[in-house]
Structure 1
């Protein structure tokens, strides 16, 4: 009766379970057979499904159920059964458990790292999947303070995965090759975002105010924007203006296809300014605990 997302999460239990470590306190919660509580893994996987019957400890037993006072229930057994011998050799000293009043805790343990209370999706991803070499422009796309939808589109542009008209024609789709913003050259990533006279007017507004001249090639510009100056505030403003410009130029291009509505560059520039100013306002609030720091908004208004 659960929701689709809950059912989907439940299907990941077999993947997640090996990373869940039970830190035993009193032992009243942790499952003796099925929880990973002695660092070797779940005992049922080590000794087999017949072990509960062999040892006389129920399948649903907790760790505390396996204690007789301050010792394990098998301590006095003289059996040479391999399963019982394994338990005698492997189970930890139960003295602290028998005296503990602390509840058992479930922690995340990834690889050989120490168990933690908190879950890190990045640590889990890096453990489960192979690492690809870092691309030289990743700091230009993913940075603290980014606007997520702008960063996502910038990532697609960096990979050249947008359906620009040159790519659509390579797919065999019959469309005009002309740029929808200027109508004077064939549309491709380099032209649409850097060479087009419409786009250049947008870029020029921001870079001229900061007295900067970015490279002319898109790939070079993408690397340059990661650290264009020595001023961190200006660098953030340039990051945000770059991604907002890419986002709104693409949005304007699509609007001309689907709605036959076009706007002059000045309207785009004004919208980019509003977006950046709103973002910098929230980021500047986080700087208030550092009174000696020049705020992002102060830097913004000094140039724009």
Structure 2
């Protein structure tokens, strides 16, 4: 094997992943002259060195660099005749399969290294998807997933909406909980304490922005963050209007958060009407590709607009 300290950056990065990949590699013993007795997973219990610790080779008398074939004497394991009551010796006797099962022969098949994911059978084929799932266990699917990561989403809008959904936006109530000495008042209305519920739903400023769109669609959304996100999965029967409502909601969240930060850092403020006009421009730009694909007679329109 090439020296880890030499070679390209990619090769060095791959070598650093060996501890991560090792638990997936199992060895199917053939001749036993390649498979490491202590370091390879050939018993199905993981590397024996991890079970016995560093004292395993010293106590058992088998070199740390020994291969499986070295551990067999006249058809039996080298420790089969040992009467020692040492816990390491007893553990090894319990872990080792009968040599007859392995059928070690110098003229047999070569030792084969396979890839094993979870409880699946070891295979010579590598699956990126199965390995990724084993290393990154999927989290439970949340009930607002389709509202945030919808097909028509604008990525930066969806990202801020996702941060709102998981309560990761740095609103003033959270900053105060962390010990920062800052004012608690909302930067948009300058009347109530700032939290995610107030900033995006209860604030008179934000209510005017989001309210403009759902009032024209003649729908009444819930007034709580989580409930509104769940409602947006299917806010109305008209598929086009439902898509526009999701776009409008995410754009409202994004621009309200942007307006809040602008007032904090630059002392520059805009009116709700200015934000509404910008959101309408954004939505129209997003709908243009759909208009070209479906024709002018089927193009989605903003709620309240005529043909």
Native 8 Å contact 1:153 1:247 kept in 2: yes
> Partner residue of 1:117?
127
- What corresponds to 1:34 in structure 2? 39
Query: Which residue of 21, 25, 28 maps to 2:25?
Result: 21
Superimposed CA distance per residue, residues 278-299 of structure 1 (whole angstroms, 9 cap, x where no aligned partner): 77889x8xxxxxxxxx979999
Match of 2:26, SS state, is strand
- The answer on whether the counterparts of 2:23 and 2:46 sit within 8 Å (CA) in structure 1 is no
* 1:193 corresponds to 2:212: no
Residue 167 to residue 104, structure 1, CA distance change in 2 (3 Å): closer
CA distance in 1, matches of 2:107, 2:238: 60
Deviation at 1:80, TM superposition (A): 1.2
Structure 1's unaligned 5+ residue stretches are 285-293
For the residue of structure 1 that corresponds to 2:220, the secondary structure is: coil
Q: CA deviation at 1:225?
A: 1.8
For 1:87 and 1:166, how far apart are their aligned partners in 2? 60
Structure 2 match to 1:288: none
Q: How far apart are the structure 2 equivalents of 1:227 and 1:30?
A: 57
Paired residue for 1:251?
A: 258
Map 1:113-192 onto structure 2 (within 5 A): 113-114=120-121, 117-118=127-128, 120-126=131-137, 137=144, 139-141=146-148, 149-166=156-173, 173-175=181-183, 177=185, 179-183=186-190, 185-192=192-199
Give per-residue Cα distances to partners, 1:129-181, cap 9 Å, x unaligned.
xx8x876545544566755654443344335454434555665735262x433
Change (3 A) 1:85 1:264: closer
Return the index of the structure with the highest Cα Rg.
2
Separation (CA, whole Å) in 1 of partners of 2:243 and 2:227 = 18
Tell me, yes or no, if the aligned pair for 1:164 and 1:188 is still in contact at 8 Å.
yes
Q: Is the 8 A contact 1:233 1:296 kept in 2?
A: no
Which residues of structure 2 form unaligned runs of 5+?
Answer: 83-88, 303-307
Give TM-score, length-normalised by structure 2. 0.62
Name the counterpart of 2:269: 262
Residue matched to 2:305? none
Change in 2 beyond 3 A, CA 1:32/1:17: farther
Q: Offset at 1:260?
A: 1.8
Contact 2:173 2:184 in 1 (8 A): no
Please give the per-residue CA displacement for 1:12-52, whole angstroms capped at 9, x wherever unaligned: 93xx4673232538778653421223312213334565665
- CA gap 1:159/1:85 in 2 versus in 1, 3 angstroms: closer
CA shift, 1:256, in A, is: 1.1
Confirm or deny: 8 A CA contact 2:173 2:195 kept in the other structure. Answer: yes
Residues 140 and 268 of structure 1, relative CA distance in 2, 3 Å threshold: same
The range that moved more, 142-151 or 31-40, is 142-151
Distance 1:264 1:274 in 2: 16
The Cα shift of 1:197 comes to: 3.9
Match of 2:113 in 1: 104
Q: Alpha carbon RMSD of aligned pairs, Å?
A: 5.0
Aligned residue in 2 for 1:291 = none
Aligned residues: 276
1:220 alignment partner in structure 2: 227
Alpha-carbon spacing, 1:41–1:148, altered in 2? closer, same or farther (3 Å): farther
Is the CA contact 1:168–1:175 (under 8 Å) kept in the aligned structure 2?
no
Aligned residue for 1:302, secondary structure, equals: coil
* Residue 45 of structure 1: aligned partner: 50
